[in-house]
Amino acid sequence: MDWQAAININRQALLQIVAALVALVQTGSMLPSVVRHQILRVLGPAESAARRLIVLAARFQKVANRPSASPVSQNLPDFAAFNRATKILRFKLFDPRKRFDWLDDQPANQMPKALPRISVIGVSDPVFVTPKQPRQDSAAITLRLQALQDALSDLPREAKRLNRQMQKRKTAPA
């Protein structure tokens, strides 16, 4: 099977999904929580699919064994002079750990979402309060989308990153 063709086909499909999500976000705006949750429902599986593509690309990439790192020179740069204003989020190569809160014996401290609707027929009129939908900042989602788009645009670089991390894991002390 031609794996490179399969990687390219799936990469193009994921780039189209990312483009649709970027159109929904509108950089620098506040998102209604409903739209934010809908974006996150699509973004999570898209990131997972990109991770699988990176693993596949890393598997077929030739790994060159690099010699051990040379000792660190005494002349280090002034790290305080670096610009901290630009934050570039790198794509996470490994899935985040799943949380199993439901296994805990203690119930979660959650507030009730609505007051009980108790009314007496003919005496009181029921009051239905529509909850205001909070608007949330889209900066974190924008950074994640940018990291995903960067990873998909340069799969060989991400495959090299994955291979380096796997080599570090193999050589790390137990």
Q: Is residue 24 part of a domain?
A: yes
Confidence band, pLDDT 50/70/90 cuts, at residue 172: confident
Q: Is residue 127 part of a domain?
A: no
Selected residue with higher pLDDT from 89 and 52: 52
Residues above pLDDT 70, as percent of the chain: 72
Ramachandran category for residue 2: left, alpha or beta (phi over 0 → left; psi -120 to 50 → alpha): beta
Confidence band, pLDDT 50/70/90 cuts, at residue 150: very high
| SS3 track for the chain | CCHHHHHHHHHHHHHHHHHHHHHHHCCCCEEEHHHHHHHHHHHHHHHHHHHHHHHHHHHCCCCCCCCCCCCCCCCCCCHHHCCCCCCCCCCCCCCCCCCCHHHCCCCCCCCCCCCCCCCCCCCCCCCCCCCCCCEEECHHHHHHHHHHHHHHHCHHHHHHHHHHHHHHHHHCCC
Per-residue exposure over 80-103, b if at least 16 CB sit within 10 Å of its own CB, e if not: eeeeeeeeeeebebeeeeeeeeee
- Split into its structural domains, the chain has a count of 1
Cα–Cα distances in angstroms (integers) from residue 81 to residues 35, 69, 77, 84, 88, in the given order: 39, 26, 9, 9, 17
Residues above pLDDT 90, as percent of the chain: 38
Q: Is residue 130 part of a domain?
A: no
Q: How does pLDDT run across 96-143, given as a tens digit for each residue?
A: 888 777 777 666 566 556 666 676 777 777 666 666 667 888 888 999
> What residues form DSSP beta bridges with 135?
32
Average pLDDT value over all residues in the chain:
81
Q: Is residue 53 part of a domain?
A: yes
Q: Are 91 and 150 in contact (CB under 8 A)?
A: yes
Q: Is residue 165 part of a domain?
A: yes
The domain in which residue 162 lies consists of: 1-64+88-93+136-174
Q: Is residue 57 part of a domain?
A: yes
Q: Is residue 111 part of a domain?
A: no
Q: Is residue 112 part of a domain?
A: no
Place of tokens 């996150």: 40
